[in-house]
């Protein structure tokens, strides 16, 4: 059971990292357009 918890934690962290980088990319494009 602990192994499953560790795996799901890794997946969640990976998902959050991807989501964060995607948001940053969108934000950078928006700020570039604003200039």
DSSP 1: -
Residues 6+ apart with CB under 8 A from 17: none
pLDDT in tens, 1-35: 688 888 888 899 999 999 999 988 888 887 888 77
pLDDT value for 1: 67
The whole-angstrom separation of Cα 14 and Cα 6 is: 12
pTM, entire model: 0.51
DSSP 14: H
Residues 6+ apart with CB under 8 A from 28: none
């Amino acid at each position: 059971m602990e192994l499953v918890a560790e795996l799901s934690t890794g997946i969640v962290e990976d998902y959050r990292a991807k989501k964060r980088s995607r948001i940053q990319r969108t934000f950078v494009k928006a700020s570039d357009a604003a200039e």
